[in-house]
């Protein structure tokens, strides 16, 4: 049964909130009521029976006659839903530390909160008036009893969390410590262990940790592992930070076949794939192909043969205006416990490092559950490609870890990505 919910319009600009008076109480205009200006919707906040639509007005002046958001909480004539919605829009602030030892990072397993049962970076919420660098040192000492030295800010990230109409801003620092044993906060931390970055990424569910670990990986020189590249990247090119689309190959760009694509003659571009990828290129996305290539992992074809196949692919895509920045392939045996064979995120880490890709603005597109898992691990958005039969086959896995979009083919995937840009 569809729930009949009340819809409200939360209009705000430069800290001023538009309200209407109703029997002595100031409230949001309801969705069915006209407002004296045009608005652009910017988000939705779910409060059960009440749906609050966030909107920015199209005005040519600063409306000082509206309510200043900071004054609303002290007024007794303002509707409670208004106060609740305004409170929810205030960002929460956390500070976390990526404590590094060699190529490993120290992570803690949480006993409570959003990360309960998962691994996280040590850290927590800022106290009132507390700078983030001071907060992270205090939190680390409280959680694991360690004295740390900060080595710099990895990044400042913001994200919503499932089921909550709030956003949190996270400050993630790189740090080091001389401590080798830790005193865990009994009611909060279950364990503390060192992990390589690629393993830490799959053990956490915290988007700040994922994005921070990707940025940490960029700083390792040389990187802790290597993958096979086709060699398209110009040496020494400095990329500005920007979005990328990571594409699986077989079943997404070209037609798969029994026994693998083992010769250039086997390679057949899927209809519409070059044009779809060209559209992403024109939109400013850096295109990277990330492929396990089991045929090479099983030693069924040599690397030189794979290169010939990829030369044919590059040529076919370029004819439609699609530019591939680089192709990344796992060079290890299929049964090896390597960092890069999807669902492990090593191929995407290498691409994010080379292309200076912002994982929060990037996408992973693939026809396997392992593609979705690898994309999620670096904090990218994901598209699962497959017809109705394939979706049904993997329905249980997709429900357990849903992608951001489902698509019949790469054309639909590109349309979904461009629609959310």
Q: What is the CATH number of the domain that holds 371?
A: 3.40.50.1000
- Per the structure, the complete domain to which residue 304 belongs is given by 228-419
What confidence tens digit (pLDDT) does each residue in 14-69 have?
Answer: 999 999 999 999 999 999 999 999 999 988 998 989 999 999 999 999 999 999 99
Kindly report the average pLDDT of the chain as a whole number.
Answer: 94
> Does residue 96 sit in the same domain as residue 70?
no
* Nearest 10 degrees: Cα torsion 123, 128, 134, 138: -50
> Does residue 143 sit in the same domain as residue 272?
no
pLDDT of amino acid 300: 85
- Residue at 192 is within a domain: yes
Could you give the CA distance from residue 189 to residue 185 in angstroms, rounded to a whole number? 6
How sure is the predictor about 2, in pLDDT bands with cuts at 50, 70 and 90? very low
What confidence tens digit (pLDDT) does each residue in 151-185 have?
Answer: 999 999 998 876 677 789 999 999 999 999 999 99
Q: Which residues contact 193 (CB under 8 A, 6 or more apart)?
A: 106, 107, 109, 119
Number of domains making up the chain: 3
Cα 415 to chain centroid distance, Å, stands at: 19
Could you give the CA distance from residue 99 to residue 177 in angstroms, rounded to a whole number? 7
Of 52, 67, 88, the one marking the end of a domain is: 88
Could you give the CA distance from residue 187 to residue 221 in angstroms, rounded to a whole number? 38
> Does residue 98 sit in the same domain as residue 174?
yes
Residue 115 has pLDDT above 60, yes or no: yes
> Does residue 135 sit in the same domain as residue 156?
yes
What confidence tens digit (pLDDT) does each residue in 286-339 have?
Answer: 999 999 998 888 888 989 999 999 999 999 999 999 999 999 999 899 899 999
Residue 235 has pLDDT above 50, yes or no: yes
More confident residue, 65 or 236: 65
What confidence tens digit (pLDDT) does each residue in 195-204 have?
Answer: 999 999 999 9
User: Which structure tokens are listed for 159?
Assistant: 């994200």
> Does residue 203 sit in the same domain as residue 130?
yes
pLDDT of amino acid 278: 98
Residue 277 has pLDDT above 60, yes or no: yes
> What's the predicted TM-score (pTM) here?
0.89
pLDDT of amino acid 292: 93
- Residue at 162 is within a domain: yes
Of 88, 105, 120, the one marking the end of a domain is: 88
How sure is the predictor about 1, in pLDDT bands with cuts at 50, 70 and 90? very low
Q: How many of the other CB atoms lie within 10 Å of CB of 400?
A: 8
Which sequence positions are flagged as catalytic? 248, 250
Percent of the chain surpassing pLDDT 70: 98
Q: How many of the other CB atoms lie within 10 Å of CB of 240?
A: 6
Residue 363 near residue 324 (C-beta atoms within 8 A): no
pLDDT of amino acid 162: 65
Q: What is the CATH number of the domain that holds 154?
A: 3.90.79.10
> Does residue 121 sit in the same domain as residue 155?
yes
pLDDT of amino acid 356: 97
> Does residue 247 sit in the same domain as residue 396?
yes
* Nearest 10 degrees: Cα torsion 102, 108, 113, 118: 80
């Amino acid at each position: 049964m569809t729930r009949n919910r009340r819809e409200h319009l939360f209009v705000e600009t430069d800290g001023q909130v538009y309200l209407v008076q109703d029997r002595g109480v100031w409230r949001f205009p309801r969705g069915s009521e006209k407002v004296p200006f045009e608005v652009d919707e910017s988000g939705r906040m779910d409060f059960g029976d009440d749906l609050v639509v966030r909107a920015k007005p199209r005005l040519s002046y600063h409306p000082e006659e509206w309510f200043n958001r900071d004054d609303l909480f002290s007024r007794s004539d303002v509707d409670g839903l208004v106060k609740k919605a305004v409170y929810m829009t205030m960002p929460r602030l956390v500070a976390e530390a990526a404590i590094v030892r060699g190529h490993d990072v120290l992570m803690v397993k949480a006993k409570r909160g959003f990360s309960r049962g998962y691994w996280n970076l040590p850290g927590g919420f800022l106290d009132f008036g507390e700078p983030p660098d001071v907060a992270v040192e205090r939190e680390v000492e409280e959680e694991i009893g360690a004295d740390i030295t900060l080595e710099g800010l990895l990044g400042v990230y913001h994200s919503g969390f499932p089921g909550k109409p709030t956003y949190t801003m996270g400050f993630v620092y790189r740090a080091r410590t001389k401590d080798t044993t830790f005193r865990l906060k009994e009611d909060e931390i279950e364990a503390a262990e060192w992990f390589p970055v690629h393993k830490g990424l799959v053990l956490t569910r915290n988007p700040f940790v994922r994005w921070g670990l990707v940025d940490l990986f960029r700083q390792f020189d040389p990187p802790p592992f290597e993958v096979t590249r086709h060699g398209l990247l110009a040496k020494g090119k400095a990329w500005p930070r920007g979005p990328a689309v990571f594409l699986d190959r077989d079943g997404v760009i070209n037609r798969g076949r029994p026994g693998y694509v083992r010769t250039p003659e086997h390679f057949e571009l899927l209809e519409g794939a070059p044009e779809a990828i060209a559209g992403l290129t024109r939109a400013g996305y850096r295109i990277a192909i990330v492929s396990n290539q089991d045929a090479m992992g099983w030693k069924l074809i040599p690397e030189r043969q794979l290169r010939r196949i990829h030369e044919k692919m590059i040529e076919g895509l370029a004819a439609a205006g699609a530019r591939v920045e680089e192709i990344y392939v796992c060079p290890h045996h299929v049964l090896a416990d390597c960092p890069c064979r999807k669902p492990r995120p090593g191929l995407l880490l290498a691409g994010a490092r080379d292309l200076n890709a912002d994982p929060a603005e990037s996408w992973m597109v693939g026809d396997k559950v392992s593609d979705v898992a690898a994309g999620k691990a670096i904090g990218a958005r994901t598209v699962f490609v497959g017809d109705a039969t394939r979706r049904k086959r993997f329905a249980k896995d997709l429900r357990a870890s849903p992608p951001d979009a489902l698509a019949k083919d790469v054309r639909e995937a590109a349309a979904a990505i461009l629609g959310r840009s």
